[in-house]
Structure 1
């Protein structure tokens, strides 16, 4: 654990860590894990907690933890039940060289931040992503645990990462592709705001790289351990992907996009049916099909499923 609270020290690099929260008691575990970070020498860390609840429900916990925190903690109340507003509050509040994001139900090992910074220094990339490892309950379905359907890693397209996520990321704040960029408010209750943000960041010339050692852990609550929850999640992700592609492909090109997505739905349905009793393989194809169905929906401009602004069990 590194104590960054002492003033008067000259720092070579500054990092703010943003945590957006909405009525989630697990925020305490997230903050306590960040208190144990092994911060590289010459790096100053500050934590930003953006509370998205209508009431400042996280403030008491933050105030209590501030007494023993090794870092400065800034609390921002964003009472709109819109995750984009909370994420944008972190961006606006950030005065550091870098802004990292971690979710309020994740925990970080001591080396997490150092691994992100090392990859940023090594590559000079504007964005660094790390993996998130799902931690399943004992009573989670066997196929789900074997297939590890909840863990998060980037997707490479033709050898590069073209979009990202906010559950484990580091942004170089002065980079032209990052500076002044904000999350879309229209996607702040449906989700997909991170895909939209990073897709446009990449299109503006921002490079996205992967730090495989910067691993975070995320427990999977019981209400997420169902095929239906995963299918809705994949469908919504597909909607955002379809919307982003449709912005780039108007008219006839959009029709081609929809036809391609439809053919992929049929392909996935066929192979899901052929997978028989192999539940991992069958469900993986079925969920992939849900993603492509969502892509078709997004291309047609169908409104996304609401995801944020509701309380989930943790």
Structure 2
């Protein structure tokens, strides 16, 4: 844990962005933000970006204003495209830092402190925190033991090369973030955050990790299934494959297809070998599906939709 509270700059402003689409859980997200520890001299504002066709979250936000000690800026930004909502947050942000959390998450009391400490120590353009999944007793035992829904960054060659928006702090002053926006073409499929941070990193931006900046997410019943995880992993693979395709030159695409196909086959075989261990078997099977998604993305197959109406159906 970084012990650097005294290194957090004074007199800074932080905007906290929450993109929402027909989620009553937004109320608990806002209540958790109301209870966060705030460094002395730090001004907080919350941006709620409502991505529904109608301003369906407006009444909920208004009802909670008296419970939240920070200004709440409600922005209606239709419809059913998460990139539109994320870009609305970028466009309406005016603070030194912009944090993103999801509308079905709650933050820990020291969440913002830990993000700001890490930003001050590392000077990174983006600081990621972990998302810890919570399962009810109806979730399959293998899923609870394997913790398949929690989110943490992945290191490649000792560094983080891409990120996510479910728990992140952005330093808006950094050139690598100037004018950067989320891809509208990916606003229904997902993967817009992976692309955003991959390109930021490619332009010299750095990503750091604050392991104690905890955010919590309860896994709803419809997501507590192998089928939902498989769909998610396949789409994630498609995004990765599309990014590999963009970066590949000449015979590079063919090499990536061979590599991803081999990885998918290896993981599928391993899942059969570990049939007696549900956690290990499922982990290998999902990796096989993810690498199959990479192949799909390399061939330019359209990515699966998961936002808007598709998102509502999956809850």
> Do the two structures share a fold, i.e. TM-score over 0.5?
yes
Does the residue aligned with 1:177 lie in a helix, a strand or coil? helix
Cα-to-partner distance string for 1:173-215 (whole Å, 9 max, x where unaligned): 0101111100000000000001000000000100001000001
Gaps of 5+ in 2: 1-9
1:42, distance to aligned residue in structure 2 (A): 1.1
Within 2, Cα distance between the matches of 1:94 and 1:154?
25
Within 2, Cα distance between the matches of 1:275 and 1:222?
26
Cα-to-partner distance string for 1:48-101 (whole Å, 9 max, x where unaligned): 000000010000011111123200000000112100000000000000000000
Indicate the residue corresponding to 1:210 in structure 2: 209
Indicate the residue corresponding to 1:104 in structure 2: 103
Matched, 1:293 2:298: no
- Kept in 2, the 8 Å contact 1:265–1:292? The answer is yes
Matched, 1:156 2:155: yes
Matches within 5 A, 1:1-314: 12-310=11-309, 311-312=312-313
Within 2, Cα distance between the matches of 1:290 and 1:192?
16
Cα-to-partner distance string for 1:138-195 (whole Å, 9 max, x where unaligned): 1100000000000000000010000000000000001011111000000000000010
- Kept in 2, the 8 Å contact 1:190–1:306? The answer is yes
Does the residue aligned with 2:22 lie in a helix, a strand or coil? coil
Indicate the residue corresponding to 1:4 in structure 2: none
- Kept in 1, the 8 Å contact 2:75–2:88? The answer is yes
Does the residue aligned with 1:67 lie in a helix, a strand or coil? helix
1:313, distance to aligned residue in structure 2 (A): 6.5
- Kept in 2, the 8 Å contact 1:84–1:193? The answer is yes
Within 2, Cα distance between the matches of 1:199 and 1:83?
18
1:312, distance to aligned residue in structure 2 (A): 4.7
Cα-to-partner distance string for 1:22-53 (whole Å, 9 max, x where unaligned): 00000000000000011000111000000000
Root-mean-square deviation over aligned CA pairs: 0.9
Within 2, Cα distance between the matches of 1:169 and 1:154?
11
Within 2, Cα distance between the matches of 1:312 and 1:135?
21
- Kept in 2, the 8 Å contact 1:18–1:101? The answer is yes
Within 1, Cα distance between the matches of 2:85 and 2:165?
12
Question: How many aligned residue pairs are there?
Answer: 304
- Kept in 1, the 8 Å contact 2:44–2:71? The answer is yes
Within 1, Cα distance between the matches of 2:304 and 2:120?
38
Within 2, Cα distance between the matches of 1:38 and 1:281?
39
- Kept in 2, the 8 Å contact 1:221–1:313? The answer is no
- Kept in 1, the 8 Å contact 2:98–2:172? The answer is yes
Q: Which moved more, 1:65-74 or 1:20-29?
A: 65-74
1:264, distance to aligned residue in structure 2 (A): 0.2
Does the residue aligned with 2:79 lie in a helix, a strand or coil? coil
